[in-house]
């Protein structure tokens, strides 16, 4: 194999250091650290709640003198034994309420995965119902446990002000309020309108953040230039998915070592351990040892994980909405209205994406020379992702076909570039052709053709036509 690579002009490098390219445990440089930790470390808020509850349990059982004077007026009068009994009662109520929260959450997760898509589970896990409510119950439970233990060490059996009991009652009220909030939040979260809208909003936020990173990019060439010298592959060190690429770090390494870097795997694509994810070439002739060092530095900017992450993956958000539509089209669910809701949100999202810079990235150095070439989906890729699978399962449903046609027409109207409008027109023609081929004898096909003709006129500058009654 090495001889074949050498004859092809490709210099393969020995693998001497396993573990390179494995993602660091911290957030990427272009991500807000606090937000990243809160989203990716679900154990963080319960641990913080447990620590806060333990500290409050120690402090409020035997508060300092100045704090005792302030709290004396609101403290409950009780003996140490009575305080322990009350705290045990509060702990039992808190644990019972927590079991209700967990049971309700599991039912919601199970129904969401079965009715909509398993890929939506992360939205429920990252919601306020989980990240806020559970830490409140954890803090209350730990506080009661620690305070009960501390009261066992208090000398004397006389009745005295117990600030810990007042705080326990307050935490109990907060827990019951959190339980009510969680129930109401769960009921709202299960509405399909809220689910698909949240996916669209999150995806659009990611797309806008990624577009800001393109501020200094060059226009992508129609054809990537071939390397003039040796070409050294970048190989993945583990199986997984590309979750983020630090373009600034790639540019720093490429500029410092006079390299041209080509990454051929987009964010969200799977990579196989040992498989080539890209390559780099040097302006100078590098030794194998220098190439090893350069490869290790470049791989640190390519973050992989066991699953896709929506923080930098626009295609994942689009895929989630498509999954909701396709799932609703299945015979076991057969819910056309859910498909319509998902396609409406996809229409809003595609119209926004049509006005952004998409496709491959070309990052130049300070002198303007292209140094880093990154692969990224174009608008055509997103439109294919939306229409192909949805049309395959929904071509017999006129409401679905009308929504797909309107999506293409709306994207063409909002597009700023002629190439984007041409892509939208081709998508419209493809949807109409596939529908005509599969539904030649359908009675509603004539209405679909008339609506497609109206959309063609809208692409020339006329207003977008209203949906026929069959599309509602």
Q: What is the largest CA-CA distance in the chain?
A: 92
* Percent of the chain residues topping a pLDDT of 70: 85
User: Kind and range of the H or E element at 398?
Assistant: helix 398-414
Query: CA nearest 373: which of 269, 291, 264, 277?
Result: 264
- Token readout for 325 is 């539509």
| Domain span including residue 118 | 33-190
142 neighbors 54 (Cβ within 8 angstroms): yes
Domain assignment present for residue 109? The answer is: yes
* Ramachandran angles phi, psi of 162, nearest 5°: -120, 90
Residue 134 lies in a domain: yes
Confidence of residue 21 (pLDDT cuts 50, 70, 90): very low
pLDDT at residue 2 in the model: 39
116 falls within a domain? yes
Whether 255 is in a domain gets the answer no
Among 344, 357, 359, CA closest to 410: 344
pLDDT tens per residue, range 354-391: 999 999 999 998 888 899 999 999 999 999 999 998 99
Task: Read off the pLDDT of each residue in 412-419 and give the average, rounded to a whole number.
Answer: 87
| Burial (CB count <10 Å: 0-12, 13-18, 19+), residue 30 | middle
- State the pTM of this model: 0.81
Indicate the number of domains in the chain.
1
Confidence of residue 22 (pLDDT cuts 50, 70, 90): very low
In this prediction, residue 91 carries a pLDDT of 92
DSSP 51-71: HHHHHHHHHHHS--HHHHHHH
Q: Give the span between the Cα atoms of 390 and 339, in whole angstroms.
A: 9
Distance CA 61, CA 68 (A): 10
Instruction: For residue 37, give both structure tokens.
Output: 């930790």
Looking at residue 30, the DSSP 8-state letter turns out to be: T
Total residues belonging to the chain:
472
Read off the tokens for 301. Answer: 């900017």
Is 268 a member of any domain? no
Look at the alpha carbons of 252, 244, 408, 428 in this order and tell me if their dihedral is positive or negative: positive
| Residue 29: pLDDT band with limits 50, 70, 90 | low
Report d(CA 337, CA 192) in Å as an integer: 9
* Distance in angstroms (rounded) separating the CA atoms of residues 203 and 320: 10
Dist CA 316 CA 136 (whole Å): 32
pLDDT score recorded for residue 64: 65
78: helix, strand or coil: strand
Q: Domain for residue 397, yes or no?
A: no
* Position 225 in a domain: no
Q: What is the mean pLDDT of residues 123-140?
A: 82
Q: Quick check: 230 and 342 in contact, CB under 8 A?
A: no
Nearest to 397 by CA among 466, 452, 344, 445: 445
* Position 299 in a domain: no
**pLDDT the model gives residue 241:** 94
Alpha carbon 291 to chain centroid, angstroms: 34
With 70 as the cut, is the pLDDT of residue 223 above it?
A: no
Q: For 228-269, what is the HEC assignment?
A: CCCEEEEECCCCEEEEEECHHHHHHHHHHCCEEEEECCCCCC
**Predicted pLDDT of residue 279:** 92
């Amino acid at each position: 194999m090495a001889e074949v690579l050498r004859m092809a002009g490709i210099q393969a490098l020995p693998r001497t250091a396993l573990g390179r390219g494995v993602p660091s445990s911290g957030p990427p440089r272009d991500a807000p650290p606090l937000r990243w930790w809160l989203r990716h470390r679900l154990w963080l808020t319960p641990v913080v709640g447990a620590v806060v509850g333990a500290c409050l349990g120690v402090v409020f059982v035997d508060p300092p003198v100045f704090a005792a004077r302030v709290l004396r007026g609101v403290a409950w009068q009780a003996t140490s034994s009575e305080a322990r009994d009350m705290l045990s009662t509060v702990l039992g109520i808190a644990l019972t309420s927590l079991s209700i929260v967990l049971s309700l959450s599991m039912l919601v997760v199970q129904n969401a995965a079965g009715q909509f898509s398993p890929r939506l589970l992360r939205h429920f896990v990252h919601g306020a119902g989980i990240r806020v409510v559970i830490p409140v119950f954890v803090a209350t439970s730990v506080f009661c446990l620690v305070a009960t233990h501390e009261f066992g060490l208090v000398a004397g059996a006389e009745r005295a002000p117990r600030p810990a009991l007042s705080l326990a009652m307050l935490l109990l009220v907060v827990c019951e309020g959190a339980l009510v909030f969680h129930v109401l939040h769960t009921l709202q979260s299960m509405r399909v309108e809220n689910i698909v809208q949240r996916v669209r909003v999150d995806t659009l936020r990611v797309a806008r953040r990624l577009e800001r990173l393109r501020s200094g990019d060059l226009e992508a060439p129609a054809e990537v230039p071939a390397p003039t010298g040796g070409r050294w592959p970048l190989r993945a060190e583990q199986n997984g998915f590309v979750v983020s690429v630090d373009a600034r770090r790639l540019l720093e390494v490429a500029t410092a070592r006079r390299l041209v870097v080509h990454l051929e795997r987009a964010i969200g694509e799977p990579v196989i351990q040992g498989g080539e994810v890209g390559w780099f070439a040097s302006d100078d002739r590098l030794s194998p040892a220098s190439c090893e060092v350069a490869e290790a530095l470049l791989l640190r900017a390519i973050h992989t994980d066991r699953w896709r992450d929506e923080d930098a993956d626009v295609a994942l958000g689009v895929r989630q909405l498509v999954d909701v539509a396709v799932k609703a089209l299945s015979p076991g669910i057969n819910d056309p209205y859910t498909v319509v809701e998902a396609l409406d949100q996809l229409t809003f999202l595609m119209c926004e994406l049509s006005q952004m810079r998409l496709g491959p990235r070309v990052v130049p150095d300070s002198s303007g020379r292209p140094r880093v070439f990154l692969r990224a989906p174009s608008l055509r890729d997103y439109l294919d992702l939306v229409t192909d699978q949805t049309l395959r399962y929904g071509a017999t449903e006129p409401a679905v076909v009308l929504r797909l046609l309107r999506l293409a027409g709306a994207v063409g109207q909002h597009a700023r570039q002629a190439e984007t409008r041409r892509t939208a027109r081709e998508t419209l023609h493809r949807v109409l052709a596939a529908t005509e081929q599969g539904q030649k004898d359908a009675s509603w096909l004539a209405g679909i053709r008339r609506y497609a003709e109206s959309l063609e006129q809208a692409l020339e500058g006329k207003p977008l036509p209203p949906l026929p009654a069959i599309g509602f």
